[in-house]
Amino acid sequence: MKKSDKFFNEFFDKQKDEISFITLKKNAKIKLGSSEHIANKEIAVPIRVNSLISDIQNQDEYDGISIGNIIDGIIYVLGTEKEFVLKEEYLKILKDLKIDLVSYVIHCINQFDDKKLNDVVVYGKSLINVVENEKTAFVYASSLERKAIESLNSDLSDTAKYFMNEAVKYFEKSLNYDDKFALSYYKLGFYYKNNQQYIKAKLFWEQQQEFDDDAVRIDEIRNEIEQLDVYVRYETGYNLILNSEAQKGLDILLPLVEDYSGWWNLLFFIGLGYRSLGEYEIAEKYFENVLKIEEGQIHAINELGLCKMCLEKYEEAKELFTMLAAMDPKNSEILCNKASANLYLGNKEEAERDIEKALKINPEDEIAIEIKRMIESLD
């Protein structure tokens, strides 16, 4: 079972603890306005424990139990267990009471405040468990998104990740049902922007612009797309560099420096591009500038060390890799780089110690194995 499946199974199982049952006798009536349901047999109907206690204290509509809380209990059961044995009977109760499940659930979700976000998720899931389509998938995804944001604000980053990943899954599912469903394009655009996947964000928002009929949203996203342009160029450029097309990537990234000289990520990838082209002195300057902006940036220190090695500044390289090894002692790559610097400096015994540490961390590290062979060949 995947970790995410286990997480949600446990989440919904925990919500089941809130449910109790009362017995509705045969021929008993439940009324809502002019509509009514008459039980054709004795049946257990769900109600949440806190609601049950409250209703008994207040002695409300149906033998001390309010109709609203019975409906709430039914929705909670539908949301926490897809194949509940009395599912069809509960759906008939809602039908007889002329309750449109989708409309009712959406109304309730909109009324729930941030103290009831577990209810929001369960109510959203009830729609999925009854009928999954573009609309119900979107409602459930939005419910999960609210819970993810609340978890993130409470510093529960792992929990937030589970909820947000599931939200994205259902936003995308809604588009599988209807590839013109504008609201999902709208939501996914923000998700990918926030995750620094700017090209993907732009693609989703361009679809939103095509299919949405809400003038306010259209204007909002048109402005977002305009502001996204520089980030799209940045992502395009660094992807080219990472895919061995350094010169093409630099042609895109270098014009951005004039306006964004303090953006260390931009300078980092330009440095990486120049290092890929063998322009080590230029790359060295860019990585040094990155560290002036973002002191202690591990990847920049590592890349600067590699540039120093290529420029035969082995002592400086060793100092950088030694600093990195102290910052990230479980990183075998850094230890391999430090070992290489030590070899160039003639520090064979120190290089051996570095490689032994690297292989202890990762016995399958091919670079470490190769350096070990090189050291052994020196004997």
Per-residue pLDDT in tens (0 to 9) along the chain, 379 residues: 889 999 999 999 999 988 989 888 998 888 888 888 988 999 999 988 765 444 444 544 444 467 888 899 999 999 999 999 999 999 999 999 999 999 999 999 999 998 999 999 999 999 999 999 999 999 999 999 999 999 999 999 999 999 999 999 999 999 999 999 999 999 999 999 999 999 999 999 999 999 999 999 999 999 999 999 999 999 999 999 999 999 999 999 999 999 999 999 999 999 999 999 999 999 999 999 999 999 999 999 999 999 999 999 999 999 999 999 999 999 999 999 999 999 999 998 999 999 999 999 999 989 999 998 988 887 6
Cα angle: 298, vertex 304, 305; to 5 degrees:
90
pTM confidence score = 0.84
> Rounded distance, CA 139 to CA 207, Å?
20
> Rounded distance, CA 65 to CA 192, Å?
46
3-class secondary structure, 65? strand
> Rounded distance, CA 376 to CA 343, Å?
12
What stretch of H or E contains 163?
A: helix 157-177
> Rounded distance, CA 192 to CA 172, Å?
12
Cα angle: 144, vertex 179, 207; to 5 degrees:
90
The structure tokens 């257990």 sit at 44
109-113, long-range: CB < 8 A, 24+ apart: 109/139, 109/142, 109/143
pLDDT tens, position by position, 189-225: 999 999 999 999 999 999 999 999 999 999 999 999 9
**Identity (one letter) of the amino acid at 196?**
Q
Q: Give how far Cα 200 sits from Cα of 212, 235, 238, Å.
A: 18, 10, 15
> Rounded distance, CA 91 to CA 25, Å?
18
> Rounded distance, CA 234 to CA 198, Å?
9
Is the CB of residue 358 less than 8 Å from the CB of residue 368? yes
